Amino acid sequence: MIFGRTQSVCPVCLRVLDAQKRAEKDGIYMDKNCPEHGQFSALIWEGNLASYLRWNTENSAVDPPKDGRAPDRGCPHDCGLCTAHLRKGCCALLELTKRCNLRCPVCFASAGETGEDLPLAEIKRQYDWLMAHGGPFNIQLSGGEPTVRDDLAEIIRLGWEKGFTFFQLNTNGLRLASEPDYAKELRAAGLNTVFLQFDGLDDKVYITLRGRPLLEQKKRCVDNCAEAGLGVVLVPVIAAGVNEDQLGPILRYALEKSPAVRGVHIQPISYFGRCALERPARPLTIPAVLRLIEAQTEGLFRAADFTGGGAENPYCSFHAAYRIRPDGGLKLLPRRAEGCCCTASDDSRVSVAEQWSGDMTDFDADGALTETSALDEFLREAWRASFTVSGMVFQDAWNLDLERLRRCHICEVDSRYGMVPFCAYNLTDSEGRTMYR
Ligand code: SF4
Ligand code: SF4
Ligand SMILES: [Zn+2]
């Protein structure tokens, strides 16, 4: 049964195609037909039509980018952002380097040992551009592996001077693991949170996805960040047949390491960039991930706890916020209480920052605790007990839905284009050719 229409691209030539959504007994599919390359069909939801429609909590509010450029060739070819975009940014990703100290078989940025760093002068220009186009945004320091740069602390300080107030480091954690003082140095510079690539608690997983065993280093990184008062979010890439059995162990480990670990942000693998894995006929969709979470945690986290994103298109993401009870149980928090059921990107920006930042405890210059009020204590306790589980299903050329893309608020910053939604920036065709990168 055809029940919806949208637009997508051909996975071979990336031309824009009309697409239909079709409900079958075993799931929801997106169908499209390229005049040159034929028919394509991609699973986008495991479950029936009712469950698919129930997930749609999209608020229709439109909050377009400030000073967007006039559309010219049509979406997704006008990113920058253009005035047809429905959301201004929330998170801006700065790719500080193309270099990495790993060469993962799976890497959306196709990073390796060699490659250029973004010059400091260019980073300054990008900060200024962002401030002039709706900033301050939450800044994601990304790459490549940003910690291979020795001036990372300086880049964070510079960002604060420019008026940005939230900095997230996307990292494989190797340097944070091997240099205990490094976490302290980054926190002192103003880093708020570490998004740590963390694919499981079994080294076999790291060998497949990252090319070598890394579990001990991941754990050391978490401990070093905890000691430095840096919030950590564990970010597993989950691939069917590789580590979908790791969701339960990752969540339990994260709870064990709370409050330093603020939560888990799950990324079902997308087939773009460098990806040594074959795209399966049934890639992981949101309902499949939620079912695995419930089954592997014996119902501690329930599939029914989760709802779709509020700021982005709901089919892009899932989210649940909890309070950890003294007995170790979890209390599901209503979304609004967490401030993440936002109708505007400003709320989204603040919500992300509050959930994932590190220890809010304040120390004076001698390292002693500063005097706090009862309200401060209350807030600190609320922060300590809070824990979030979220995830984002990035789109690839097979399942790209331009309606989802137009609501994207996670953008790569590029000196040629401005802000480009993450899924457009990283889109590759079946031969690995890019549209923007
Ligand atoms: S993704 Fe957004 S910014 Fe890019 S072309 Fe489409 S509407 Fe414009
Ligand atoms: S990055 Fe991709 S999956 Fe995430 S909100 Fe943007 S379009 Fe959706
Ligand atoms: Zn084609």
Q: Is the CB of 130 under 6 A from ligand 2?
A: no
For the CA of 417, the nearest ligand:
1
Q: Which tens digit of pLDDT belongs to each residue from 99-112?
A: 999 888 888 777 77
Tell the residue nearest (CA) to atom 5 of ligand 2.
Answer: 408
Q: What does residue 398 show for φ and ψ, rounded to 5 degrees?
A: -80, -40
- Percent share of the chain, pLDDT over 90: 75
Predicted pLDDT of residue 349: 63
State the distance from the centre of ligand 2 to the C-alpha of 400, rounded, in angstroms: 10
State the distance from the centre of ligand 3 to the C-alpha of 39, rounded, in angstroms: 9
Average of per-residue pLDDT across 158-181? 97
At 343, is the pLDDT very low, low, confident or very high (cuts 50, 70, 90)? very low
> Contact, 84 vs 61, CB < 8 A?
no
Instruction: Determine how β-strand 231-235 pairs with β-strand 261-268.
Output: parallel
At 437, is the pLDDT very low, low, confident or very high (cuts 50, 70, 90)? confident
Q: Which residues, including other chains, have CB under 8 Å from residue 204's CB and lie 6 or more apart?
A: none
Q: Which tens digit of pLDDT belongs to each residue from 192-237?
A: 999 999 999 999 999 999 999 999 999 999 999 999 999 999 999 9
Burial 116-141 (b: 16+ CB within 10 A, else e): ebbeeeebeebbeebeebbbbbbbbb
Pocket test of ligand 1: the residue of 85, 422, 426, 436 to mutate, having most ligand atoms within 8 Å of its CB, is 85
Burial 226-254 (b: 16+ CB within 10 A, else e): bebbbbbbbbbbbbbebbbebbbbbbebb
Q: Is the CB of 410 under 6 A from ligand 2?
A: yes
Closest atom, ligand 1, to C-alpha of 421: 1
State the distance from the centre of ligand 1 to the C-alpha of 85, rounded, in angstroms: 5
Name the average pLDDT for the chain: 90
Predicted pLDDT of residue 337: 39
> Contact, 52 vs 45, CB < 8 A?
yes
Predicted pLDDT of residue 340: 36
User: What domains sit in the chain, N to C, each tagged with a CATH number?
Assistant: 1-54 (no CATH), 91-392 (3.20.20.70)
For the CA of 14, the nearest ligand:
3
CB atoms within 10 A of CB 203: 15
State the distance from the centre of ligand 1 to the C-alpha of 372, rounded, in angstroms: 46
- Percent share of the chain, pLDDT over 70: 92
Q: Is the CB of 425 under 6 A from ligand 2?
A: no
Q: Is the pLDDT of residue 424 over 60?
A: yes
CB atoms within 10 A of CB 22: 17
C-alpha 186/C-alpha 5 separation (Å) is 47
What's this model's pTM, rounded to 2 decimal places? Answer: 0.93
